[in-house]
Amino acid sequence: MTMTPISPTLDDLLREENWLEWRAHAEAVPAVRLTEMVTTDQSRAEFVEGARLLRLDQKVRAGDGGTGPSPEQLLIADVLNAGRFITAICDPRRSTKTTSVQAVVLGRCTLREDYQVGWTMCTTGAKASERFRKDIVAPIMRLYPNPKDMPFSINLGKGSEAISWPNGSFFNVYSPNGDGFRSGGFDMGVADEGGEADVELSDDITVAVLPTMDTKPGAQFVIPGTAAKFRDGNLLWDNLNDPDAGVVWRGIPESTDPEELEDWESSEDHPRARMRELIERAHPGVGWTTPIEAVERNFRKFGRTQFLAEYGGMFGSEGVSTGLISAALRERAALSVKMPPAPENFTLAISVHPDGLWASVGVAWRYEEQEDLASTAWKLDGQRDDARPPRTAIGLLHHQSGVQGFAMKVLTLARKYRVPVIFDQLSQAVGVEVETLSRATPRPALTPATTSDVRRAATKTLQGFEQGSLVYFREQGPLENALEYAVKRPIGTAGGFGFGRRKDHYEDDITPVEACSLALHFLDSTTTKISPRDAFQFE
């Protein structure tokens, strides 16, 4: 049985060794993205003072029964203390991310002179006022029952809520339209629940807040929140993906097989399901601030998409126009060499645009790395020839605009290479071509792919790029373009997805990646690496 660590006191956390030991529990939780952390005597003193004002040392954590800040709260504080101009925080519900930021803010206002903070929530002004009263003012009033004993002044006037310190520091609460920010200069601006901001509000807040920090050295714009239903133009999503931003992003990886998300645990109907395990790995509050039983209860009550956003950190795909595979991943996988000779074993799949605008024949095979300086050095160093992790390649055998003659081309390739033709059985455009193939004599082997296959094919492709186990050839422009344009297309209600076209870009040609992903998915049955013989002939 795992023993719950003894919680340090607030005074304990002033010492660096205690702080780092407690923070290490949060560092053990895998992150989608986590930037550098910094702790100093001053930053710890500020956080501890803020935690004292919020009475975190008196509040019992629901997950483990302990008191005091959770490890994740220390981690968030240290990412903020790293000082990046923008910091985006996407933690699942009930991981106390907002409380972490509040503790840092209150501590800085108390211990720094003239520290100016503007706070809003990307929901409504009434909600911002309510959270200020409940989350900040209520614990402070418990700590100081007599207002005369408070080391600062609190204004609860509607629309002018604020805390002011004798040292010149201010904490101001604003409505989420950005107007309050425009009139001042701030050391920190906080847009809480950043995932709730629509495109218009995201733009308004960004334009209003950023200029107020132009004359403030070390100013920060902080955006805590949970995953939203959409991505493009979302305040939280955009800043989580800003390479210059500080980021704490927890969640279930997008490349997770959808079948693993279909039930809380493995069952007869869903033998591969393991949502509980994924949540326990990805949610930094489970076992600390949140009991796993509470998360399971909400899993049973919520719609799957909503649950994955709230507790799995997975953004939805409404109106998405951002490519699923990032430029950095594509660049790492791209090879600037010609497509190699045909392997002894490979898989072949086809795809056709719904309106017949484009058609592709894609292939996948075990890729044998070409001799280069790195592999030569490994051999000279006495390492095995297979020291480099094996990779898989995808490529195009054929690509065309329109569908005229496509079925005959596929038939020729299937006969030449003696491989089955894999196809999406629910695609009507593909079905027309398959009908022609099925009438051929001799008839080529045809392998229909189900909806589950299509979902898992996209997942496997994304995993290959993320894990560095997949390569493609830069010379094949149609495939490179498709990898850039293809977006996440929801399939089903359990977080499953396939490749889709960008919003308002129905003409996008993603048939190369659709075909290649299906070929990749069905490759598991072949294990032979390439043997340099008859060359592929791309047309």
Q: Within a 10 A sphere around the Cβ of 533, how many other Cβ atoms?
A: 9
Q: In what order do the strands lie in the sheet with 170-173?
A: 33-34, 246-249, 86-90, 220-225, 188-192, 116-121, 170-173, 162-164, 153-155
pLDDT at 102: 97
- Asked if residue 258 and residue 335 are part of one domain, the reply reads no
Phi and psi torsions of 483, nearest 5°: -65, -30
pLDDT at 379: 54
Residue whose C-alpha is closest to residue 248's, from 106, 73, 56, 120? 73
- Asked if residue 242 and residue 145 are part of one domain, the reply reads yes
- Asked if residue 331 and residue 468 are part of one domain, the reply reads yes
Residue 25 half-sphere exposure toward CB, CA atoms < 13 A? 21
- Asked if residue 413 and residue 298 are part of one domain, the reply reads no
- 531 is a domain residue: no
Q: Which residue has the tokens 């422009």?
A: 477
Whether the upstream peptide bond of residue 217 has omega within 30° of 0, thus cis, is no
CA dihedral 71, 76, 79, 85 (to 10 degrees): -170
Do 437 and 411 meet the contact criterion of CB atoms below 8 Å apart? yes
Alpha-carbon gap, residue 30 to 39, rounded angstroms? 21
Alpha-carbon gap, residue 422 to 193, rounded angstroms? 44
Residue ending a domain, among 264, 287, 311, is 311
Residue 62 sits in a domain whose CATH number is 3.40.50.300
Write down the H helix ranges in 285-421.
Answer: 292-301, 304-310, 327-333, 373-380, 406-417
- 379 is a domain residue: no
Domain count for the chain, please give it.
Answer: 2
pLDDT at 315: 87
Q: Where are the beta strands (DSSP E) in 73-181?
A: 86-90, 116-121, 153-155, 162-164, 170-173
pLDDT at 537: 52
- 161 is a domain residue: yes
- 299 is a domain residue: yes
- Pairing outcome for strands 33-34 and 220-225: unpaired
DSSP state, 80? H
Residue ending a domain, among 282, 311, 340, is 311
- Asked if residue 185 and residue 333 are part of one domain, the reply reads no
- Asked if residue 293 and residue 208 are part of one domain, the reply reads yes
pLDDT at 217: 92
Alpha-carbon gap, residue 129 to 269, rounded angstroms? 46
Q: Where are the beta strands (DSSP E) in 150-211?
A: 153-155, 162-164, 170-173, 188-192
- 1 is a domain residue: no
Residue whose C-alpha is closest to residue 37's, from 112, 129, 100? 100
- Pairing outcome for strands 153-155 and 334-335: unpaired
- 286 is a domain residue: yes
- Asked if residue 365 and residue 243 are part of one domain, the reply reads no
Residue 514 sits in a domain whose CATH number is 3.30.420.240
Cα Rg of the chain (Å, integer)? 27
Alpha-carbon gap, residue 42 to 346, rounded angstroms? 60
- Asked if residue 85 and residue 230 are part of one domain, the reply reads yes
- Pairing outcome for strands 170-173 and 220-225: unpaired
| 23 burial via Cβ count (<10 Å: 0-12, 13-18, 19+) | buried
DSSP 447-516: EEE-HHHHHHHHHHHHHHHHHT-EEEETT-HHHHHHHHH-EEEE-SSSS-EEEEPPTT-TT---HHHHHH
- 8 CA to centre of own chain: 32
Q: Contacts for 459-463 with beta carbons within 8 Å, 24 or more apart?
A: 459/255, 459/256, 459/257, 459/258, 459/496, 459/497, 460/517, 460/520, 460/521, 461/325, 461/394, 461/499, 461/513, 461/516, 461/517, 461/520, 462/254, 462/255, 462/324, 462/325, 463/255
Alpha-carbon gap, residue 16 to 103, rounded angstroms? 18
Per-residue pLDDT of the chain (539 residues), as tens digits, is 355 678 999 999 999 999 999 999 999 999 999 999 999 999 999 999 999 999 999 999 988 899 999 999 999 999 999 999 999 999 998 888 999 999 999 999 999 999 999 999 988 767 888 999 999 999 999 999 999 999 999 999 888 899 999 999 999 999 887 677 777 789 999 999 999 888 888 888 888 888 888 889 999 999 999 998 888 788 999 999 899 999 999 999 888 888 888 899 999 988 989 999 999 999 999 989 999 999 999 999 988 888 999 999 988 876 566 788 888 889 999 998 888 877 778 999 999 999 999 999 999 999 887 655 555 554 555 554 455 668 999 999 999 999 999 999 999 999 999 999 999 999 999 999 999 999 999 999 999 999 989 999 999 999 999 989 999 998 999 999 999 989 988 887 666 789 999 888 889 999 999 999 999 999 986 544 434 444 455 44
- Asked if residue 406 and residue 283 are part of one domain, the reply reads no
- Asked if residue 244 and residue 149 are part of one domain, the reply reads yes
Q: Which residue has the tokens 């430029």?
A: 327
- 380 is a domain residue: no
Alpha-carbon gap, residue 67 to 502, rounded angstroms? 48
- Asked if residue 348 and residue 265 are part of one domain, the reply reads no
- Asked if residue 255 and residue 213 are part of one domain, the reply reads yes
pTM greater than 0.85 (yes/no):
no
Q: Which domain holds residue 223?
A: 10-311
Q: Within a 10 A sphere around the Cβ of 444, how many other Cβ atoms?
A: 19
Residue ending a domain, among 311, 338, 355, is 311
pLDDT at 381: 55
- 378 is a domain residue: no
Helix (H/G/I), strand (E/B), else coil: 120: strand
